[in-house]
């Protein structure tokens, strides 16, 4: 089946989505947030329940995107509905602390070993922005190092070398900093140092060269995108500690594997960690936290804080209620279920690829997953960038036609708690059909 045929089927099934998308563009720039858009137009969804979505044309989909990984309990989980209803009855936004943010902070500090204090914001982007400010303030150093291909949100310090064209990136062992977004401050990329994943020798050399100007290293474990080796992450911790550079760990997607987070599984202790996605239970939230001596720079209760940080809706009570319900529902059994489904999916996809002779890399990080076609290794951004993106886009549409909603690009998809083994098995069959469709 050609891409045109796959697209024609999609258009036939979703005329109301198309109409609403076109109407929306006249008043709502792009009619969808960046991450939602895909050609020819994105679905408009009407409702969701458990692990299922329904669009405005009445088509249903097994949800393997789960709102960019954040809906770990699926949709309309009773624990979340009860918690937010209770909070709405008590008061939605009351202009002062309510105590619920302390409950949420305590829950996180009890669970994640490296957390002594946390602070809530409204998104992952804000979390990384403020973590970097703290790192700059306490270290007195200006620059930030991040890995090539890592995404830490949309602000100037980190929107560098997120998805740079391979022609612009320079030597693999010494990547060039490439600004990713338009409208950034001029020369801002000169403040950001780019590191290659899984090349420890080069990382050590680059960090040593810049150690006196580096406030922190941002480390994104690329959950469901690139399988970053635990040993590599542990070595980054040691190297940064030896060089006197703070390590900021981005668990915004990865905080799905166990109560203690990915860092608990990998057994390493960053100085600061950024959170988002699941900790809001579907509501906008972010958090950053870590060592008390660093976090206390934002504590303004005893005079002016060294770092001013504020936000009208930070630590919003309804988001906190949903977050607490989420974390409390994620028992050891729940994590075992989610991680077990992730492993079942990995085995099934690997077997399917081997049986059909498909060259692909499957990445499963707990319950976050991706499948990248046409590459025989996946160790860093440059391998990832060589994957067959056009095939993934056609397969994504074919999967929608079959009733499966994945993340576009088939990267950073996610499994939710109401998902069962039969959903996983039928997803593997659907991916196999999508591959055949897109290659006919």
Ligand X SMILES: Cc1ncc(COP(=O)(O)O)c(C=O)c1O
Binding site for ligand X (CB under 6 A): 68, 123-125, 128, 151-153, 220, 250, 252-253, 276, 286
Record the tokens describing residue 215, joined without a space.
Answer: 């406030």
Helix (H, G, I), strand (E, B) or coil at 198: coil
Shortest distance, CB of residue 255 to ligand X, whole angstroms? Answer: 10
The HSE-up count of residue 275 (CA atoms within 13 Å, CB side) is 31
The nearer residue to ligand X, 310 or 422, going by C-beta atoms, is 310
Comparison of 123 and 258: residue with beta carbon closer to ligand X: 123
Q: What is the DSSP string of 78-147?
A: HHHHHHHHHHHHH-S--SS--SHHHHHHHHHHHH-TT-SEEEEESSHHHHHHHHHHHHHHHH---EEEEE
Nearer to ligand X, 262 or 438 (CB): 262
The answer to whether 132 and 290 have CB atoms below 8 angstroms apart is: no
Report, in Å, the least distance between residue 176 CB and ligand X: 22
Whether the CB-CB separation of 209 and 138 falls below 8 Å is answered with no
What sign has the CA pseudo-torsion 307, 318, 77, 61? Answer: negative
CB of 124 to ligand X, least distance (A): 2
- Residue 142 tokens, joined: 């200006």
250 is catalytic: yes
Query: Within 10 A of 359 (CB to CB), how many other CB atoms are there?
Result: 12
Taking the least distance from each CB to ligand X, the nearer of 315 and 348 is 315
Query: Shortest approach of ligand X to residue 409 CB, angstroms?
Result: 13
Please say which residue, 6 or 319, places its beta carbon nearer to ligand X.
Answer: 319
Measured at CB, which residue is nearest to ligand X?
124
Q: How far is the CB of 270 from ligand X (least distance, A)?
A: 14
Among 61, 277, 288, 335, the active-site one is: 277
Closest CA to 296 of 427, 117, 142, 141: 117
151 is catalytic: yes
- Mapped onto helix, strand or coil, the DSSP state of residue 255 is coil
Q: Which one, 162 or 438, has the nearer CB to ligand X?
A: 162
Catalytic residue among 250, 269, 271, 383: 250
Q: From the candidates 151, 197, 381, 404, give the one annotated as an active-site residue.
A: 151
Q: What are phi and psi of 438, to 5 degrees?
A: -75, -15
Q: Cα separation of 226 and 242, whole Å?
A: 26
CB atoms inside a 10 Å sphere around CB 102: 12
CB of 327 to ligand X, least distance (A): 17
- What residues are annotated to the active site? 151, 250, 277
């Amino acid at each position: 089946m050609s891409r045109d045929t796959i697209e024609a089927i999609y258009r036939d099934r979703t005329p109301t989505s198309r109409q609403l998308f076109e109407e929306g563009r006249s008043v709502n720039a792009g009619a969808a947030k960046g991450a939602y858009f895909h050609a020819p137009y994105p679905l408009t969804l009407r409702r969701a329940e458990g692990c299922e979505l329904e669009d405005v044309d009445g088509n249903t989909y097994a949800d393997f995107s789960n709102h960019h990984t954040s809906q770990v309990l699926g949709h309309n989980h009773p624990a979340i509905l009860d918690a937010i209803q209770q909070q709405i009855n008590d008061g939605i936004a009351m202009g002062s602390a309510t105590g619920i943010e302390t409950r949420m902070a305590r829950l996180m500090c009890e669970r994640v070993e490296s957390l002594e204090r946390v602070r809530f914001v409204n998104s992952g982007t804000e979390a990384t922005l403020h973590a970097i400010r703290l790192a700059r303030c306490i270290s007195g150093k200006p620059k930030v190092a991040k890995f090539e291909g890592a995404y830490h949100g949309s602000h100037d310090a980190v929107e560098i070398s997120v998805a740079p064209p391979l022609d612009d990136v320079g030597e693999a062992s010494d990547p060039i900093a490439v600004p990713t977004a338009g409208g950034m401050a001029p020369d801002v990329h000169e403040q950001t140092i780019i590191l290659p994943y899984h090349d420890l020798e080069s990382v050590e050399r680059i960090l040593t060269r810049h150690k006196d100007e580096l406030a922190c290293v941002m480390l994104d474990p690329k959950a469901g995108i690139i399988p970053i080796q635990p040993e590599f992450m542990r070595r980054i911790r040691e190297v940064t500690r030896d060089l006197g550079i703070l390590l900021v760990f981005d668990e915004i997607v990865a905080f799905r594997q166990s109560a203690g987070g990915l860092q608990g599984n990998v057994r390493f202790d960053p100085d600061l960690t950024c959170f988002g996605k699941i900790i809001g239970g579907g509501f906008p939230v972010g958090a950053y936290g870590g060592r008390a001596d660093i976090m206390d720079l934002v504590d303004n209760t005893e005079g002016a804080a060294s770092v001013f940080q504020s936000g009208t809706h930070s630590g919003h009570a309804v988001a906190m209620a949903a977050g607490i319900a989420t974390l409390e529902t994620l028992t050891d059994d729940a994590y075992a279920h989610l991680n077990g489904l992730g492993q079942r999916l990995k085995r099934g996809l690997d077997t399917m690829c081997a049986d059909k002779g498909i060259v692909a890399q499957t990445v499963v990080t707990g319950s976050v997953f991706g499948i990248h076609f046409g590459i025989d290794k996946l160790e860093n951004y440059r391998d990832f960038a060589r994957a067959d993106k056009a095939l993934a886009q056609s397969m994504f549409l074919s999967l929608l036609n079959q009733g499966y909603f994945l993340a576009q690009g088939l990267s950073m998809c996610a499994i939710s708690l109401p998902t069962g083994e039969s959903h996983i098995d039928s997803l593997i069959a659907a991916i196999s059909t999508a591959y055949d469709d897109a290659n006919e």
